[in-house]
Structure 1
Amino acid sequence: MKTRILITGLAFVSAISFGQKKEIKKAEKAIQSNEYSEALTYLNEAEPMLGSVDNDLKAQFYAAKGEALLGSGGSDYTKLKKAAEAFTTALEMDPKIETQLSVPLQNLRAALINGAVKDQGAGQYKMATDKLYTSYTVSKDPSDLYFAASNAVNGKDYDAALKYYQMVLDSGYTGVTEEFVATNKETGEVEAFENENVRNIAVKSGQFIKPEKRVTESRKGEVLRNMTLIYIEQGNNEKATSLMKTARAENPGDIYLMRADADMSYKMGDIARYNDLMGQIVASDPENPEIYFNLGVGSAEIGNKEKAIEYYNKALELNPDYEAALINIAVLKLSGEDKIVEEMNSLGNSRADNQKYDELKEKRNTLYTETLPYLEKALKLKPDSKEVVRTLMNIYGQLAEDAKYNEMKAKLESMEK
């Protein structure tokens, strides 16, 4: 009698398994026809009895569920996240299914990263962070974590940033890659290509010259630098110092870590150490404009505007056509504009206020006049820069240089058509 009950039970399980296979097959056919809602309906019918089947069938179920959610998700992060969770479960149940999911996983990552880029551009840093981390859960690519951490920093979610940066360090990721580059004959700019073959074809076309292979900068220094600055921001100087000490011991000659150490010293008020480290960095390659440019970026980020402009000007001494240095100097000089305008707008109509207003207006105009040469040269180097054109147009308007204002206005309108 017991044997008969056992046989009946096995038959019952087999019937359930057969029914689930049937529903999963229906779902897979619906997915092939882009009928994603229909596929999800079939899968919902199969899901209640999923616990009774083997891992291979469970993997097929979650793979189909992931594809259906991805197909119906569009830019809906809720569905994309559920798709990522389904794919992750499928891979846990049967790692061999990764080959089958190769294209869907690539499509999911592309959807998440593209969405994160849009969110980042719109200042939605929390959403960008979440999408990039979700992408990492399926791609296992530490670069997704790196960019997730960067967005967390922008959104001032420092706990998340530290968590993701630590995961980046633990993975051994540096971001160092080989690039195949060549110089555009028309613009003079060095451009990177997808691979060596594409670069060589571009050179043969005659549009590019000076084919080279270069190695991109390591991101490890930036990661450690950001982590130390976050610890300092949180008042955890001991943690920041310990982290930097370990990093410098591992890589004593790393210029980017040295710069991170300098930034940390500045934040902690150790100006003597800051100046010493800056001197060491410059001495490592005194004729390299990139060194001075990067020092300018670092100085600006920690609020040392005067030192940043000094470094940018040194970069320009070594390379007068350094467009990024020209623009960054202009940005720093114009950063004082808001405070002046705010003070002008706060004044009343008394004689003293009117006199003060005229003084402030003259101060603002002097700031504009000092900034113009940098922007005008930047525009000559890159005539298609809309932001430079727009900024020049506004400055010319404030300085009542009507002819130049109209020229920039017309140029901007033609660029925006």
Structure 2
Amino acid sequence: MKTKLLIMTALLIGLAGFSQKSEIKAAEKAMKSGDAAAAKASLESASGLIAGADERTQAQYYFLKGHAYADLARKGDMSAFGESVDAYKKVISLEESTGKAKYTAEASAQMSAVANDLVNAAVEDNKAKKYTDAADKLYMAYQLSPRDTIYLYYAASSAVNSGDYQMALDYYKELKDVGYDGSQMEYRATNVETGEVEVMQKTQRDLMVKSGTYSNPVDEKTESKRAEIVRNIALIYTQLGNNEEALDAYKEARADNPDDVNLVLNEANLYYQLGDKDKFKALMAEAARMAPDNPDLHYNIGVINMEQGDIEGARAAYRKAIEINPGYVNAQLNLSTTYVNEGNGLIDDMNALGTSRADLEQYDAYKSQKDELFKEGAKVLEDALKTNPDNEAVLSQLKNIYGALGDNENFMRIKKLLGE
């Protein structure tokens, strides 16, 4: 009886092995005919028994599974990417343990192809504003091809766009840990016909220069992204409310990038949020000393002061930016806005007054003060038109100010300039 039982067991094992191989052959045949769905069905039938199969059969099974799911992913089943990647990794792991690499080379090549597919799919996701999906795909592509660290960099950017700051933080920290630099050589030359500087591949650039259609070849290394990464880590910590971690990140970032003014500004803003105004002012003064002739710095100081209610500080910073760059439209618009906003604030005070003689007198005083502020805002924009006469943002804001003042002559003049 025991002998019969052993025979029956052996028979069942043999039949199971036969079934596995039969389903794997069916999957292989389906893949050759381009029917990934049928291959998937056959592989699913064999999945329950594959763990007990020999390593060679397992490697074949997972290799076919990788192919089938990769094909399904390319045909629109985005969830199949992960299954494909896991299957190819299993193939390589199995063959490493046995020392027989029948499928490893092709599995590795297919993983590179899947990585490219993931990146292309992520590009489409970003265009469709499906940022979380894009981040997931880009991170998967990075896992498939760790040497292409740029995939991780773009995964972090997509995570920020999705609003998933914890995911973005994890990715940026991983970039920092692997020492991602992100700088690369750019090969530029000047188009002789247009006078524009263009970036191209080195071989192409050299040929164009040799032909005489381009001149002034320049080889230049782009800026490292390490400062940006550490800065983003600090900003995300701030966004998540982890202020101590953010301050530590700023200290580390500034130690590595002592000349980065934006780091100083961001750190200053965090100290302001924490209520340490003395530290805030000290850092802002440091930033101004670092780049006294940088109009963007003074503009940014103006923005921060404006956001934090320091109107006079904002005006001084905007005027300094305009002094350095007389055509700085954004500084001119914001400077004008400080006057308009202050004037609008008086309207609430005017509306809160009663009808007594004293209230009516106060109303007239407020109105006169408001009009003077609006006129000051208009004067700033009239000056802006001297360097940017066709700027629509300047013209639109100026038209609105004259409309609020009831200055019909100037209102119609600006309308005409706008082509209305």
CA contact (8 A) 1:24 1:43 kept: no
Matches within 5 A, 1:31-46: 39-46=36-43
CA deviations on 1:276-306 (whole Å, 9 max, x unpaired) are 445555555656x4xx525644763683686
Partner of 1:385: none
Tell me, yes or no, if the aligned pair for 1:27 and 1:42 is still in contact at 8 Å.
yes
Which residue is equivalent to 1:57? Answer: 61
1:398-409 matches, within 5 Å, as: 398=400, 399=402, 400=410, 402=412, 405-406=415-416, 408-409=418-419
1:347-386 → structure 2 map (5 Å cutoff): 363-364=373-374, 366-371=376-381, 373-374=383-384, 377=387
Letter in 2 for 1:326: V
Sequence identity (%): 22
Selected match of 1:133 from 119, 133, 136: 136
CA–CA separation in structure 2 for the residues paired with 1:202 and 1:408: 43
Return the TM-score normalized by structure 1. Answer: 0.67
- Structure 2 distance, partners of 1:310, 1:180, is 41
Question: Which runs of no fewer than 5 residues in structure 2 stay unpaired?
Answer: 51-56, 93-103, 144-150, 403-409
AA of the residue aligned to 2:156: Y
Residue aligning to 1:168: 175
Secondary structure of the residue aligned to 2:218 is: strand
Distance in 2, matches of 1:319 and 1:209, equals 30
- Conserved 8 A contact 1:59-1:94: yes
C-alpha change, 1:69 and 1:218, in structure 2 (3 Å) is: same
- Offset of residue 54 of structure 1: 0.8
1:86 aligns with: 83
Judged with a 3 Å threshold, the aligned counterparts in structure 2 of structure 1 residues 281 and 227 are, in CA distance, closer, same or farther, namely same
Establish whether residue 6 from structure 1 lines up as the match of residue 10 from structure 2. Answer: yes
The 8 Å contact of residues 27 and 39 in structure 1, kept in 2 or not, is answered as yes
Go from structure 1 to structure 2 and tell me whether the alpha carbon gap of 1:342 and 1:301 turns closer, same or farther (over 3 Å shift). Answer: closer
Structure number with bigger Rg: 2
- Residue-by-residue CA offset, 1:175-198 (whole Å, 9 max, x unaligned): 333333456779877x55243334
Q: Following the alignment from structure 1 to structure 2, what is the Cα–Cα distance between the partners of residues 166 and 138?
A: 18
Counterpart residue identity of residue 148, structure 1: S
Question: Do the aligned partners of residues 21 and 242 (structure 1) sit closer, same or farther apart at CA in structure 2, a change above 3 Å counting?
Answer: same
Displacement of 1:316: 6.0
CA deviation vs aligned residue, 1:40-97 (integer Å, no higher than 9, x gap): 354234324224151342233133213323322xxxxxx43x1331233133223542
1:226-305 correspondence to structure 2 within 5 Å: 226-232=232-238, 235-249=241-255, 257-278=263-284, 280-281=286-287, 289=294, 292-293=295-296, 296-297=299-300, 300=303, 303=307
The reply to whether residue 17 of structure 1 matches residue 27 of structure 2 is no
Query: Which amino acid in structure 1 is aligned with residue 171 of structure 2?
Result: Y
Distance 1:6 1:66, change over 3 A: same
Segment drifting more, 89-98 vs 396-405: 396-405
Runs of at least 5 residues in structure 1 that lack an aligned partner in the other structure: 31-37, 73-78, 120-126, 381-387, 411-417
Task: Tell me what 2:44 maps to.
Answer: 47
> 1:384 maps to what in 2?
none
- Structure 1: distance between partners of 2:418 and 2:210: 37
SS at match of 1:193: strand
Aligned residue identity for 1:109: V
Give the match's secondary structure for 2:110: coil
Deviation at 1:147, TM superposition (A): 0.4
Q: Which amino acid aligns with 2:67?
A: A
Q: With the length of structure 2 as denominator, give the TM-score of the two structures.
A: 0.67
> RMSD of the TM alignment (CA)?
4.6
